[in-house]
Structure 1
């Protein structure tokens, strides 16, 4: 028995939207906006502190897109958390 849900027009449209989403926040913009440490940025991005230090170092290594996306997601969560219905919050971040 196949329990997979089929992808209909709605799901395909949302897949296209998500796949082409350019959600991103510059690490310096995030650092200026929020009173965070580089260690906290590493936790948000799911990368090492050494990685984050390279972004802020003299060589200014550019963060990969996945990290700037995670910063943008955290920014949205911090800005909009109370506006998100409780049921959705529980699905986003289950305890």
Structure 2
């Protein structure tokens, strides 16, 4: 097992910035901007189709997304907007990070 990396002032500053980052997009905003289905939003947010449909309902059946869902949609919006501008090595790390850790 490797030794955990220590945090310096730069890393602590980055954690502080991230903890106050209000990076979010509502399902309604995402749906209005991109030609996606509720099912695709469900995949992005790792939710069931019925949960996402509940976000778009009115009245007492309406559900509300969690902050993590809003962040997933904002991040997907960012990737869709800026995909070509992201350097390939960064994109590879970002998209395949799960495989790198294992």
Instruction: Please say whether Structure 1 and Structure 2 have the same fold, judged by a TM-score greater than 0.5.
Output: yes
Runs of 4+ in 1 over 6 A off after TM superposition: none
Partner of 2:49: 49
Give the Cα–Cα distance (whole angstroms) in 2 for the partners of residues 62 and 44 of structure 1: 16
Partner of 2:92: 90
Alpha-carbon spacing, 1:5–1:38, altered in 2? closer, same or farther (3 Å): same
Give the Cα–Cα distance (whole angstroms) in 1 for the partners of residues 63 and 50 of structure 2: 11
Q: CA RMSD in A?
A: 1.5
Partner of 2:23: 23
Partner of 1:63: 65
The structure that is helix-richer by fraction is: 2
TM-score where L is the length of structure 2: 0.87
Give the Cα–Cα distance (whole angstroms) in 1 for the partners of residues 9 and 46 of structure 2: 33
Give the paired residue count: 95
What residue ranges of structure 1 are gaps of 5+ in the alignment? none
1:33-83 per-position Cα deviation (integer Å, ceiling 9, x unaligned): 000000000000011111101101123322111001100000000000111
